């Protein structure tokens, strides 16, 4: 099973349209792979520490997300560019993580209404992996010229990068397979206490 995170925190987003297309492509490329979506617009995950008891245990909304990520072999992260950043809901999800995504491959798919999309890629590559230990694969996809609620425009934007999408999804499958051995090795050896939160 692969997890597919829809990183826009608003309903009717272009990111959700992009996610639908990615799911369709994956069904063609790798029909045996089940895709479980995590829609941050629907999940209503409170900001970390917002409730009286801090941490992952305090939010019932986190439990099903945690289970899905823990069971997943790979993550596809569809992330819009908002003010040159990833939406706060995406960073919030990373605050909740413990080792659900550790040593699992992730594919970043950035979404922009205009010519953007590079910033969310750079931000995730720079600052999301240390504690989570997610392994973003070298390839990413940027879907430019998308429009929230406009399927035809977003389909045209997706058509511009269809070859990249298929290639990146195939590659993610190869990394998912290859990193199984890494996770098994880590489970055997464990992380030293001094690097419990990454290095």
**Using CB under 6 A as the criterion, which residues of the chain lie in contact with ligand FMN when the complex forms?**
8, 10, 13-15, 80-84, 111-114, 116, 146, 148
What minimum distance in Å lies between the beta carbon of 32 and ligand FMN? 29
Tokens of 89: 């809901």
Tokens of 26: 């994956």
What minimum distance in Å lies between the beta carbon of 149 and ligand FMN? 8
Q: What is the DSSP letter of 33?
A: -
Q: What distance in Å separates the CA atoms of residue 99 and residue 61, rounded to the nearest whole number?
A: 18
Residues in the chain: 199
Q: What distance in Å separates the CA atoms of residue 48 and residue 43, rounded to the nearest whole number?
A: 14
Measured from the CB atom, the residue of 24 and 115 that comes closer to ligand FMN is 115
Residue least distant from ligand FMN (Cβ): 116
Measured from the CB atom, the residue of 39 and 73 that comes closer to ligand FMN is 39
What minimum distance in Å lies between the beta carbon of 76 and ligand FMN? 14
What minimum distance in Å lies between the beta carbon of 193 and ligand FMN? 40
What minimum distance in Å lies between the beta carbon of 21 and ligand FMN? 13
Measured from the CB atom, the residue of 83 and 193 that comes closer to ligand FMN is 83
Measured from the CB atom, the residue of 18 and 135 that comes closer to ligand FMN is 18
Measured from the CB atom, the residue of 109 and 179 that comes closer to ligand FMN is 109
Q: What distance in Å separates the CA atoms of residue 9 and residue 17, rounded to the nearest whole number?
A: 14
Measured from the CB atom, the residue of 87 and 105 that comes closer to ligand FMN is 87
What minimum distance in Å lies between the beta carbon of 116 and ligand FMN? 2
Which of 107, 92, 98, 97 is CA-nearest to residue 179?
107
> Three-state SS across 97-156?
CCCCCCCCEEEEEEEECCCCCHHHHHHHHHHCHHHHCCEECCCCEEEECCCCCCHHHHHH
């Amino acid at each position: 099973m692969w997890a597919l995170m829809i990183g826009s925190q608003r309903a009717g987003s272009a990111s959700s349209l992009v996610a639908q297309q990615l799911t369709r492509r994956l069904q063609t490329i790798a029909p045996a792979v089940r895709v479980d979506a995590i829609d941050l617009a629907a999940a209503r995950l409170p900001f970390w520490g917002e409730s009286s008891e801090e941490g992952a245990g305090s939010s019932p909304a986190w439990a099903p997300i945690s289970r899905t990520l823990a069971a997943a072999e790979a993550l596809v992260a569809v992330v819009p560019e908002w003010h040159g950043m990833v939406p706060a809901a995406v960073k919030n999800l990373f605050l909740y993580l413990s080792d659900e995504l550790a040593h699992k491959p992730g594919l970043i798919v950035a979404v922009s209404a205009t010519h953007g999309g590079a910033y969310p890629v750079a931000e995730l590559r720079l600052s999301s992996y240390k504690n989570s230990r997610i392994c973003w694969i070298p390839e990413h996809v940027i879907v430019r010229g998308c429009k929230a609620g406009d399927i035809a425009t977003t389909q045209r934007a997706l058509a511009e990068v269809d070859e990249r999408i298929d290639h990146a999804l195939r590659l993610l499958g190869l990394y998912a397979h290859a990193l199984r051995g890494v996770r098994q090795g880590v489970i055997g050896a464990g992380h030293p206490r001094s690097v419990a939160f990454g290095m």
